[in-house]
Structure 1
Amino acid sequence: MPKFTTIARRSRVLAKPNKVSLACVAGLGAASVGLTLIPGGGQASADAAPNMAPVAYSEQQIKDVKAGVTDQLAGATVKADAAVAKKKAADEAAKKADEAAKKKAAAEAAKKAAAKPAPKTYPNNLDGWIRESLDVMKKHGIPGSYDGIKRNILRESSGNPKAINNWDINAINGIPSKGLLQVIPPTFKAYHVPGTSWDIYNPVANITAACNYAADRYGSMDNVNSAY
């Protein structure tokens, strides 16, 4: 009986390590089975992974994100405002340049107008008519003098621009002499000087056409001392 008691104690003493060994073996076996079930030699696929819990962000992280977005929006606004300001400045500069150019053109036009002599005026009388006719004749190279023109006017019409001869041969032929220097219509039309009126009774037109005719036929009105 004592022998059996000793054996029993030894058996109970050895039982604890055996239990630990069996537990380890069981655990390793389970792990081995688990690894065998994972495809690709132990790499689990994303689909096989268990659902992940939502990530919790701290309040400071959220504030930082908001601050970053706000800074980006502020930067974009600053760039947009700068572009608008640049365009406005360019438009204003172009407007000022245009106004300056207009002012310069107006100043130059005024300067030219001031430098240009005012149109010459003549009194509306025999003296003025002769002087204006002489200026027109000078432009067209028609000879004649003040005295020669006045002398013939006084003989032909006494200085009456509406004078008409209704009794000479021209009148009998239906083309009476008219005006200051008693010019018949065909002669007035043939020797009319550009820039003067087509009215045969116009004093300047009548004198200038008559002097043009006299220059062609006699060399100058100064050479005419009678009816011509």
Structure 2
Amino acid sequence: MRSTISGYTRLTKVHKFSAAGIVATASAAVALAVVPNAHAAETTTVKPVAWSAESFGETQSAELTQYADAAAAQAKAAAADAVAKAEVKAEAKADQERASRSEARKPMKPAAKPAAPAPKKYADNLDGWITESLDVLRSKGIPASYEGIKRNVMRESTGNPRAINDWDVNAVNGVPSKGLLQIIDPTFKAYHVEGTSWDIWDPVANITASCNYAADKYGSMDNVNSAY
């Protein structure tokens, strides 16, 4: 027989079965309450609980509403957390892009200048003095050769950078010939080559000035084979 209880038709199948079970249980409790207990002196009457499908449905609906509200709150919190994380990620990306643009706008550092080559070293002997003098002479475009220089050095001073002539006409005139190629002070000063010492006793300066003088007078020290 179809029930005419108010609200019954709005209940789900689970609600309907649950309500029916509760009504049945309540009926059984009332039946037991009116049966005399063999050991009791008096009959005990139990007041039945007032249950209705309508009130049961309302209780279940309230619980479902609570669950729905809790789920909605969790979903809202998760969405807010996702938005916050996305904002943090977007800000980090923006910071990185700004840093990249700032780095790109920095002026390029000028290329480092190549290190200056280490100065060439020469032996402190006749070979080293002639070699160094030749490097200076070539840089100035003054002609001379190793063989021509050494040949004249050996004739004039036998390779002694402190040699001095104190007996010839120059010595008599107060300007003795000095050094490896026996040059006098006025000639040394007149033909001194820039980049060498102004000291006439300096071997390299003495050779270089003498070669400059010989180039001017004879075309090259190579063309000198006697006193000059």
- Give TM class, smaller chain: 0.5 to 0.7
Take 2:186 and 2:118, find their aligned partners in 1: how far apart are those partners?
36
Q: What residue in structure 2 maps to residue 153 of structure 1? A: 153
Query: Map of 1:189-204 to 2, 5 A cutoff?
Result: 189-204=189-204
- 1:173 maps to 2:173: yes
The answer to whether residue 115 in structure 2 is matched with residue 123 in structure 1 is no
CA distance in 1, matches of 2:120, 2:170: 37
How much has 1:118 moved relative to structure 2?
Answer: 2.0
Distance in 2 of aligned mates of 1:142 and 1:161 = 22
Distance 1:194 1:119 in 2: 17
Unaligned runs of 5+ in 2: 1-98
- Report the Cα offset of residue 119 of structure 1: 1.5
**Which residue pairs with 1:18 in the alignment?**
none
2:165 partner SS: coil
In structure 2, distance between residues paired with 1:201 and 1:158 = 15
Q: What is the rounded CA distance, in whole Å, between the counterparts of 2:177 and 2:222 in structure 1?
A: 20
1:16-71 residue CA offsets vs partner (Å, 9 max, x unmatched): xxxxxxxxxxxxxxxxxxxxxxxxxxxxxxxxxxxxxxxxxxxxxxxxxxxxxxxx
Gaps of at least 5 residues in structure 1 are 1-89
Separation in 2, partners of 1:198, 1:120: 21
Q: One-letter code of the match for 1:158? A: T
- Matched letter for residue 129 of structure 2: W
Kindly provide the amino acid, as one letter, of the partner of residue 207 in structure 1.
I
How do 1:100-119 residues align onto structure 2 when only pairs under 5 Å count? 108-109=112-113, 112-113=114-115, 116-119=116-119
Instruction: Give the aligned residue type for 2:118.
Output: A
Runs of 4+ in 1 over 2 A off after TM superposition: none
What one-letter code is carried by the residue in structure 2 that aligns with 1:141?
Answer: G
Q: Name the CA distance, whole Å, in 1 between partners of 2:221 and 2:201.
A: 19
Q: Which residue in 2 is equivalent to 1:162? A: 162
TM-score by length of 2: 0.52
Give the secondary structure class of the aligned counterpart of 2:177.
coil
Q: 1:186 maps to what in 2? A: 186
For normalisation by structure 1, the TM-score amounts to 0.52
